């Protein structure tokens, strides 16, 4: 069970602060003002029906999508969203700042998104070497330790297509960890997996929670969210419909929509 209770007794710093994020695609308003705060060690599970804006929200947080409005702060440091919106028009210096900011937030995708032409180990060391400028030998040592940690060191020289989905996702988690991110975002990390492979990936994420990693996880694994999350956020049509500790959301949902959603998914 979660150590969230004991964690809350010690003062922790705010790792990620998000204020009033809005995002539209053309006339479709997908995010209608989302705010949240993740303190060090928080594990926030984001629930909601398909199309409620969960992926768009996570993508806004590391600027795979550019929010139309709102603020994102990492350890109190605000990211200049106006600057980030200019995309291709960034000066080299601003582009570097944006890349540096992005490197502080890890992202694990539903579909793994490993480089198919690189071995597992090369996938893991690619960003440390090319984005952070870490020496190759050092990146390799650390990469091997991370593969060990997620239980796939024996696959280090294999290509992603030769791995099971669960192994690929564990490689993707090792790749995210290799950048020492301050926050890790997971977008339905087990939804693309065969049922028998789900638990090996959830086990890795659970271990990261136990280490005190700060994570936001979009998931439909309700048992996992209930056991591991320190906080649950329920999104509906681009707004936070309900928010609170798992005990409250799962046992005493306040809104009819959350009740219906849980009835369908529990």
- What x/- string results for residues 146 through 175 when contact with ligand ADP is judged by CB under 6 A? ------------------------------
Q: Kindly list the distances between the CA atom of residue 62 and the CA atoms of 71, 75, 159, 234, in Å, as whole numbers in the listed order.
A: 12, 14, 27, 20
User: Are the beta carbons of 117 and 161 closer than 8 angstroms?
Assistant: no
User: Are the beta carbons of 80 and 66 closer than 8 angstroms?
Assistant: no
Counting contacts by CB under 6 A, is residue 51 touching ligand ADP? yes
Among 50, 117, 256, 263, binds ligand ADP (CB under 6 A): 50
Q: Kindly list the distances between the CA atom of residue 35 and the CA atoms of 32, 164, 241, in Å, as whole numbers in the listed order.
A: 10, 37, 12
Q: Taking the complex as a whole, how short is the minimal distance between the CB of residue 51 and ligand ADP, in angstroms?
A: 4
User: Are the beta carbons of 208 and 239 closer than 8 angstroms?
Assistant: no
Q: Taking the complex as a whole, how short is the minimal distance between the CB of residue 234 and ligand ADP, in angstroms?
A: 11
Q: Kindly list the distances between the CA atom of residue 222 and the CA atoms of 16, 121, 219, 234, in Å, as whole numbers in the listed order.
A: 24, 32, 7, 12
Counting contacts by CB under 6 A, is residue 55 touching ligand ADP? yes
For residues 239 and 93, what is the distance between their CA atoms, to the nearest angstrom?
35
Counting contacts by CB under 5 A, is residue 55 touching Mg ion? yes
Counting contacts by CB under 6 A, is residue 190 touching ligand ADP? no
Q: Taking the complex as a whole, how short is the minimal distance between the CB of residue 29 and Mg ion, in angstroms?
A: 17
Q: How many residues bind ligand ADP (CB under 6 A)?
A: 11
Counting contacts by CB under 6 A, is residue 52 touching ligand ADP? yes
Q: Which stretch binds ligand ADP (CB under 6 A): 22-30, 135-143, 151-159, 190-198?
A: 22-30
Q: Taking the complex as a whole, how short is the minimal distance between the CB of residue 96 and ligand ADP, in angstroms?
A: 26
Q: Which stretch binds ligand ADP (CB under 6 A): 10-18, 50-58, 175-183, 246-254?
A: 50-58
In terms of Cβ atoms closer than 10 Å to its own Cβ (0-12, 13-18, 19+), residue 91 is exposed
Query: SS3 helix, strand, coil % of the chain, rounded to 5?
Result: 45, 25, 35
For residues 110 and 98, what is the distance between their CA atoms, to the nearest angstrom?
24
Counting contacts by CB under 6 A, is residue 264 touching ligand ADP? no
For residues 37 and 173, what is the distance between their CA atoms, to the nearest angstrom?
23
Q: Which residue is nearest to Mg ion (CB)?
A: 55
Counting contacts by CB under 6 A, is residue 25 touching ligand ADP? yes
For ligand ADP, which is the closer residue by CB, 11 or 28?
28
For ligand ADP, which is the closer residue by CB, 191 or 255?
191
Q: Which stretch binds ligand ADP (CB under 6 A): 45-53, 132-140, 242-250, 252-260?
A: 45-53
Catalog residues that contact Mg ion under the rule CB under 5 A: 54-55
């Amino acid at each position: 069970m979660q150590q969230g209770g004991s964690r809350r007794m010690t003062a922790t710093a705010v790792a990620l602060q998000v204020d009033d994020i809005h995002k539209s695609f053309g006339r479709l308003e997908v995010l209608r003002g989302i705010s949240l705060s993740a303190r060090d060690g928080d594990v926030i599970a984001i629930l909601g029906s398909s199309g409620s804006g969960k992926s768009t929200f996570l993508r806004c947080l590391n600027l795979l999508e550019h929010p139309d409005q709102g603020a994102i702060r990492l350890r109190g440091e605000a990211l200049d969203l106006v600057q980030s919106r200019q995309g291709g028009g960034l000066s080299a210096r601003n582009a570097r700042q944006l890349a540096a900011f992005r490197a502080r937030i890890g992202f694990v995708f539903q579909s793994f998104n490993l480089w198919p032409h690189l071995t597992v180990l090369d996938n893991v060391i690619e960003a440390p070497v090319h984005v952070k400028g870490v020496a190759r030998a050092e990146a390799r040592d650390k990469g091997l330790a991370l593969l060990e940690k997620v239980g796939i060191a024996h696959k280090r020289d294999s290509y992603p297509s030769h791995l099971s989905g669960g192994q690929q996702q564990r490689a993707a988690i090792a790749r995210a960890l290799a950048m020492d991110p301050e926050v890790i975002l997971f977008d339905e990390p087990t939804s693309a997996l065969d049922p028998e492979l789900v638990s090996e990936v959830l086990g890795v994420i659970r271990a990261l929670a136990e280490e005190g990693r700060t994570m936001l996880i979009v998931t439909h694994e309700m048992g996992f969210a209930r056991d591991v999350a320190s906080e649950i956020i329920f999104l509906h049509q681009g707004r936070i419909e309900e928010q609170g500790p798992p005990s409250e959301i799962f046992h005493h949902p306040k809104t009819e929509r959350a009740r219906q959603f849980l009835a369908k998914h529990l």
